[in-house]
Structure 1
Amino acid sequence: MDELVGLLPPGRVLVDPDVLASYRHDEAEWAPYGTPAAVVRPRTAEEVQVVVRYCARHGVPVVPRGAGTGLSGGANAVAGCVVVALDGMRAIKEIDPLEKLAVVEPGVVNDDLRAACAEQGLWYPPDPASSPWSTIGGNVATNAGGVCCVKYGVTGDYVLGLQVVTGTGELVRLGRRTAKGVAGYDLTSLLVGSEGTLGVITEVTVRLRPRREPERTVAGYFPSVVAAGRAVEAVAAAGLTPSALELVDRQCLEAVDAWKNMGLSADADTVLLGRTDAPGAAGEAEADAMLACFTAAGATWSVRSSDQEEADALFAARRLAYPALERLGPVLTEDICVPVGRVAEMLGRVQDIGVRHDTRIANIAHAGDGNLHPMLLTAEGDEAARLRAQAAFDDIVREALELGGTVTGEHGVGLLKRDGLRAELDPAVLDLHRAVRDALDPHRILNPGKVFTTGKEST
Structure 2
Amino acid sequence: MTTTTATTPATATTTASTTASTTASTTLVDELRAALPDGQLVDDPQIAASYRHDEAEWAPYGTPLAVVRARSTADVRAVVLACLRHGVPLVTRGAGTGLSGGANAVEGCVVLSTEQMTAVLEVDPVERLCVVQPGVVNDDLRAHVAGFGLWYPPDPASSPWSTIGGNVATNAGGLCCVKYGVTRDFVLGMEVVTGTGEVVRLGRRTAKGVAGYDLTGLMVGSEGTLGVVTEVTLRLRPARLPEHTVAGYFDSVVAAGEAVRAVGAAGITPSALELVDRHCLAAVDAWKNMGLSTEAQVVLLGRTDTPGAAGEAEADALLACFESAGATWAARSTDQEEADALFAARRLAYPALERLGPVLTEDVCVPIAAVPAVLGRIEEIAAEHDVLIANIAHAGDGNLHPLIITPPGDEPARARAQLAFDEIIVAALAAGGTVTGEHGVGLLKRPGLADEVGPAVMAMQRAVKQALDPAGILNPGKVV
Q: Bin the TM-score by the shorter chain.
A: over 0.9
Q: Which residue matches 2:79?
A: 51
AA aligned opposite 1:38:
A
In structure 1, how many angstroms separate the alpha carbons of the residues matched to 2:149 and 2:392? 31
Find the partner of 1:150 among 159, 178, 181: 178
Pair 1:140-2:152 in alignment: no
Structure 2: gaps of 5 or more residues: 1-28
AA aligned opposite 1:291:
L
Task: Give the match's secondary structure for 2:223.
Answer: coil
Cα shift at 1:184: 1.2
Pair 1:200-2:228 in alignment: yes
Q: Which residue matches 1:40?
A: 68
Find the partner of 2:206 among 178, 181, 185: 178
Greater Rg by CA: 2
Cα shift at 1:265: 2.8
Task: Give the match's secondary structure for 1:313.
Answer: helix
Pair 1:2-2:20 in alignment: no
In structure 2, how many angstroms separate the alpha carbons of the residues matched to 1:267 and 1:37? 51
In structure 1, how many angstroms separate the alpha carbons of the residues matched to 2:305 and 2:95? 31
Pair 1:430-2:458 in alignment: yes
In structure 1, how many angstroms separate the alpha carbons of the residues matched to 2:177 and 2:227? 26
Cα shift at 1:266: 3.0
Task: Give the match's secondary structure for 2:123.
Answer: strand
Find the partner of 1:355 among 383, 397, 401: 383
Q: Which residue matches 1:455?
A: none
AA aligned opposite 1:217:
T
Task: Give the match's secondary structure for 2:95.
Answer: coil
Pair 1:159-2:180 in alignment: no
AA aligned opposite 1:230:
E
Task: Give the match's secondary structure for 1:30.
Answer: coil
Q: Number of aligned pairs?
A: 452
In structure 2, how many angstroms separate the alpha carbons of the residues matched to 1:73 and 1:112? 25
Pair 1:371-2:371 in alignment: no
Q: Which residue matches 1:290?
A: 318
Where in structure 2 are the equivalents of 1:13-412 lying within 5 Å? 13-412=41-440
In structure 2, how many angstroms separate the alpha carbons of the residues matched to 1:421 and 1:371? 16
Q: Which residue matches 2:469?
A: 441
In structure 1, how many angstroms separate the alpha carbons of the residues matched to 2:459 and 2:355? 41
Cα shift at 1:74: 0.2
Structure 1 segments of 4+ aligned residues over 3 angstroms from their partners: none
In structure 2, how many angstroms separate the alpha carbons of the residues matched to 1:108 and 1:258? 32
In structure 2, how many angstroms separate the alpha carbons of the residues matched to 1:295 and 1:42? 53
In structure 2, how many angstroms separate the alpha carbons of the residues matched to 1:20 and 1:393? 30
Superposed CA RMSD in Å reads 0.5
The C-alpha deviation readout for 1:378-406, integer Å capped at 9, x for no partner, is 00000000000000000000110000000
Structure 1: gaps of 5 or more residues: 453-459
Q: Which residue matches 2:19?
A: none
AA aligned opposite 2:455:
P
Q: Which residue matches 1:456?
A: none
AA aligned opposite 1:115:
A
Task: Give the match's secondary structure for 1:287.
Answer: helix
Cα shift at 1:3: 1.3
Cα shift at 1:135: 0.1
Task: Give the match's secondary structure for 2:38.
Answer: coil
In structure 1, how many angstroms separate the alpha carbons of the residues matched to 2:40 and 2:317? 56
User: TM-score scaled to structure 1, two decimals?
Assistant: 0.98
In structure 1, how many angstroms separate the alpha carbons of the residues matched to 2:37 and 2:178? 44
Cα shift at 1:11: 1.2
